[in-house]
A and B are shown apart, each in its own frame.
Chain A
Amino acid sequence: MNYLEVQDLTVSYRTAAGELPAVRGVDLAVAPGSKVGIAGESGCGKSTVALALLRLLPASARMGGRILLDGEDVLTMRWGRLRAVRWAGASIVFQGAMHSLNAVHRIGDQIAEPILLHENATPAAAARRAGELLEQVGLPARRAAAYPHELSGGQRQRVMIAMALACGPRLIVADEPTTALDVMIQAQILRLIDQLVGEHGISMLMISHDLSVLADTCDRLAVMYAGRVVEEGPADQVFRSARHPYGAALGAAFPTIGDPASRRSPRGLPGDPPDPAAMPAGCAFGPRCPVAEPRCAETDPVLWPAGPDRAAACVRVLSDEQARGAGVPAGGAAPAEQVAAHPEKEGRTP
């Protein structure tokens, strides 16, 4: 069974301009011990999904659908249960460790706080555990006495990870854990996260606007656009050969050094995401899509099988798959390496 299963999640915010949809029906599954990435640009709803998982959204948010954490629906949980699930069932590593840590408390006390609250530990035991956690994330235990401003950005992010591990969660949600960090520090942090989730068998949901970082870290990737998942599949395939034009644009946004095609030709995506108050008719990506067709303004595509174990929400994918004779059953497993090595052979030839 999946440790996390999100079913038809919707989130809208009540604003002065009326109810604005931020997440418009998202399905996600994270198997125990697996790592799933969500990619997308600001405002696509990816961080809203992350916060919704533990009901951390502001009061103006209205949620629908189901969020099953180990089979239990987070959205209908009672407060007491929800408090128990936060930290111990799932914990979050937020972006911008500078703002997520309390500037006037020693970091050791901040790591010990959830342990004190959740495990009825004695202060001495919690402090000892905080020291162990710091060692685990590569900081000396004596740094527990430091204040956040005494640490570098990378060290603060390590503290955030130690906090997230404090109560032994089975799922870690990492929201842009390495954004704003230098490449070398980013590599250190990604390595650390990878090693820790591997050692403890923790599942992970990682959120980023950088598809290359997610492809490097995660097993599976979901690309979000305007509140929906528009592409989903094995991480490497989504990154290298996206089927949805938006997925392809995100993948091309960060160049591969040495690739002559991207030399002196940065690739972006013109335009801005749609205003949630005025969604375009048909496909939400249509107005920015480099390969849009007239029918895109009429049909609002849903996720459709787009090769073994993959799905994409694009009418072109739908016609391609139909032309191949049949929809490929989702979940049909092909060895990822093989497919990655022969991207042109993806999908199953009838």
Chain B
Amino acid sequence: MTAETEQPDRPGAPPVAGVPGTGPAVLGAAGVRVEFRARDGRGTARAVDGVDLEVRAGEIVALVGESGCGKTTLARTLLGLERPTAGRVAFEGRPLGYRAKELKAFRRRVQLVLQDPSGSLNPRHTVYDAVAEGLRIHHGSAPDERERVAAALARAGLRPPERFFLRYPHELSGGQRQRVVIAGALVLEPEVIVADEPVASLDASVRGEILALLLRLREDLGLSALVVTHDLGLAWNIADRVAVMYLGRVVEVGPVEEVLTAPRHPYTQALLSVLPEAPGRTPVVLTGEPPDPARIPGGCRFHARCQVLSSGEAERAGVADRCRTEDPGVLTSATTAQVACHYAAAAARSGATED
């Protein structure tokens, strides 16, 4: 399944010891592929095309990429909402079972926080009911339901919680609604939270508040989190590691400081260069949009849009042919910095021989 993997060690990379999330893997994907029938009914769309990724205890991993890169499908697969076509999902080292009972037990411990809190809350349910729903599903009518709902609301920053019990979503601000959604996830005391664009629909001022809450939950409860986002600033704000996805694959992964301040994959470099107020970078605006996952290009899947290939730099480095014909392979789930790029690998090799 895994093709040849480019995993050049980064000279001078900081040791990972002491960094949050060096513990055992809590939730992981190994060789996961998810295929759908293509929209036009012909062929298959490879939404996730071979991904190894692990979230370790107490670690926050940001999964970033553009719409359609497969990041949400991968997250749904990690939650057991989608069955991988190949590969497997593991929770605490054991393969995820897909029988209803197994999934129910799994979902108590791995909770989803959706984007757009207005859409994920029932407008006719009070805050209390919205938060208690998960408890009722998993524990029936627990005698301490009221206390647990109050504790979850308080943890999510809605204090005093009793004041919010009887409110309806429309009476709350966007930030408060997102906190209710997070409280709904916390009430079951999960080990892992999977958050899909938790701040994309929120105002700038509220964004920081919600991100700070996610960080605090990790500190207080030791929660692990996988945060799916297109916002690289979010990764810089809260994540320990970042995985950059392009067209169904993780193309660069590693500690946030390394990947975001010294990106090696041309795609990561381009994404960072077009951020507003990106310091000192010439913006590389890629033309067009990512190709259809039903028609993934051969060779490196990024080669048709790659600025390093089109500028002739890859040619000079002698890797242009490999870019067009040879798949750089699947990155491993190790926590070190890795990149799936022939050019970056060649650059690392020549850097190593010069030293």
Which A residues have a C-beta under 8 Å from some C-beta of B? Answer: 41-42, 152-154, 180, 182-188, 191, 209-213, 215-216, 239, 249-250, 252-258, 262-270, 272
Contacts and interface: CB of A to CB of B under 8 A. Distances in A.
B279 A41 contact: no
Contacts of B285: 184, 187-188, 191
Contacts of A265: 212, 237
B274 interface: yes
B137 interface: no
Given A153-B67, A216-B277, A254-B233, A41 B203 contact: yes
Given A153-B67, A254-B276, A272-B173, 15 more contacts: A154-B289, A187-B285, A209-B204, A210-B276, A252-B208, A253-B204, A257-B275, A258-B260, A263-B256, A264-B215, A266-B207, A266-B212, A267-B212, A268-B209, A268-B211
Q: Which among B212, B233, B283 has the highest number of chain A CB atoms within 10 Å?
A: B233
A347 B174 CA distance: 37
B215 A257 contact: no
A264 B238 contact: yes
A239 B233 CA distance: 16
A183 B212 CA distance: 23
Chain B: interface residue count, which band?
A: 35 or more
Contacts of B205: 41, 249-250, 253, 268-269
B261 A257 contact: yes
Interface string B268-309: 001110111111000101110100000000000000000000
A266 B206 contact: no
Interface of B is mostly: helix
B201 to A, nearest CB: 8
A42 B238 contact: no
B230 interface: yes
B348 to A, nearest CB: 21
Contacts of A187: 274, 283, 285
Given A183-B230, A263-B257, A253 B277 contact: no
B237 A42 contact: no
A271 B197 CA distance: 22
Contacts of A272: 173, 175-176
Contact of B208 (A191, A212, A239, A267): A267
B289 A185 contact: yes
B236 interface: yes
Contacts of A209: 203-204
A184 B277 contact: no
B204 A41 contact: yes
Contacts of B210: 268
A258 B261 contact: yes
A255 B271 contact: no
Q: In this complex, which of A209, A210, A249, A266 has the most chain B Cβ atoms within 10 angstroms of its Cβ?
A: A266
Nearest to B273: A187
Nearest to A41: B203
Nearest to A178: B276
Interface string B164-179: 0000000001111000
A213 B231 CA distance: 13
B347 interface: no
A184 B286 contact: yes
Most B Cβ at <10 Å: residue of A152, A186, A272: A272
Nearest to A212: B276
Given A180-B200, A187-B283, A212-B276, A268 B212 contact: yes
28 contacts: A41-B205, A41-B206, A154-B289, A180-B200, A183-B66, A183-B271, A183-B274, A185-B289, A187-B283, A187-B285, A209-B203, A212-B277, A216-B276, A252-B208, A254-B207, A255-B233, A256-B279, A257-B233, A257-B236, A257-B272, A258-B236, A258-B261, A258-B279, A262-B237, A263-B256, A263-B257, A268-B210, A269-B208
A266 B238 contact: yes
Given A191-B285, A268-B205, A268-B207, A263 B277 contact: no
A256 B203 CA distance: 17
Contacts of B204: 41, 209-211, 250, 253-254
B232 interface: yes
Contacts of B67: 152-153, 182
Interface string B200-236: 1001111111111001000000000000001111001
A257 to B, nearest CB: 5
Nearest to A44: B203
* Leading 7 A-B pairs by shortest Cβ distance: A268-B208, A268-B209, A187-B274, A266-B211, A253-B204, A269-B205, A212-B276
B279 to A, nearest CB: 7
Given A42-B174, A154-B289, A264-B215, A184 B270 contact: yes
A41 to B, nearest CB: 4
Contacts of B66: 182-185
B233 A42 contact: no
B277 A256 contact: yes
Residue from A154, A254, A257 having most chain B Cβ neighbours under 10 A: A257
A256 B280 CA distance: 12
A215 B236 contact: no
A259 to B, nearest CB: 8
A183 B232 contact: yes
Interface string B146-181: 000000000000000000000000000111100000
B267 to A, nearest CB: 9
B261 to A, nearest CB: 5
A266 B176 CA distance: 17
Contacts of A239: 277
Contacts of A262: 236-237
B67 to A, nearest CB: 5
Nearest to A240: B277
Q: Which of B176, B204, B211 has the most CB of A within 10 A?
A: B204
Contacts of B286: 184
